Amino acid sequence: MTLEELPAGDSAAHKMQTVRAAVEELLVAAQHQDRLTVGVHEAATLMNVDPDCVLLCLLAQDEEQAGDAGLQLLFTLLQAFCCGYDIQVLRVSGMGRLAQLLGEPPGPEARDLHCLLVTTPPADAGETQGLVQVSSFCQELRDRGVPSVSLLER
């Protein structure tokens, strides 16, 4: 379920813009605070060792990857694991923008951006506004399926 599927109107468009900005803010902040785990293998390893430290799982793909059966199987397994541990899940499209946000170099040396985990902040850091907004969005749409947001190229 995406915000585009919510009732039409300025409020839905504004909300989508707000959620996009919150996702971007959250990812940048989590990376700077060393609270971002990048990659399917790395994410699976962390969730196997310490699932309670994971606040949010972002599953990223573009439309052309929607037919990748292996990737879809991994996403299904990760979603099921997250559901079992009450971890918020958000699907994200816009791999180019995601790579740009995280400062990934183009080409084969780039990390696997298909799965990103945001972990708990240090006790003295508190939650960012981005995390609060993204979590609220996920909670709001959770009973309609895994929510998704499209990051826009700039």
Residue-number span of the structural domain to which 39 is assigned:
13-150
35 in any annotated domain: yes
Strand order in the sheet with 148-150: 36-38, 115-119, 54-60, 88-93, 148-150
Q: How many domains does the chain have?
A: 1
CATH code of the domain in which 72 resides? 3.30.1330.30
Show the low-confidence residues of the chain (pLDDT under 70): 1-10, 122-127
140 in any annotated domain: yes
Task: Write out 26-91 in H/E/C secondary structure.
Answer: HHHHHHHCCCEEECHHHHHHHHHHCHHHEEEEEEECCHHHCCCHHHHHHHHHHHHHHHHCCCEEEE
Check if the beta carbon of residue 56 is closer than 8 Å to that of residue 138. yes
CA–CA distances in Å: residue 114 to residues 39, 57, 65, 109, 152 = 6, 10, 10, 15, 17
86 in any annotated domain: yes
74 in any annotated domain: yes
Torsion 62-66-71-74 (CA) sign: positive
1 in any annotated domain: no
82 in any annotated domain: yes
- Distance from C-alpha of 43 to C-alpha of 136, rounded to nearest angstrom: 22
Q: Residue 153: its pLDDT value, please?
A: 78
93 in any annotated domain: yes
Q: Among 66, 153, 152, 154, which residue's Cα sits nearest to residue 114? A: 66
Check if the beta carbon of residue 121 is closer than 8 Å to that of residue 32. no
- Distance from C-alpha of 78 to C-alpha of 115, rounded to nearest angstrom: 9
Q: What is the mean pLDDT of the chain?
A: 86
Q: Residue 9: its pLDDT value, please?
A: 55
pLDDT, tens digit, for every residue of 95-137? 999 999 999 987 777 889 999 999 987 665 666 778 888 888 8
125 in any annotated domain: yes
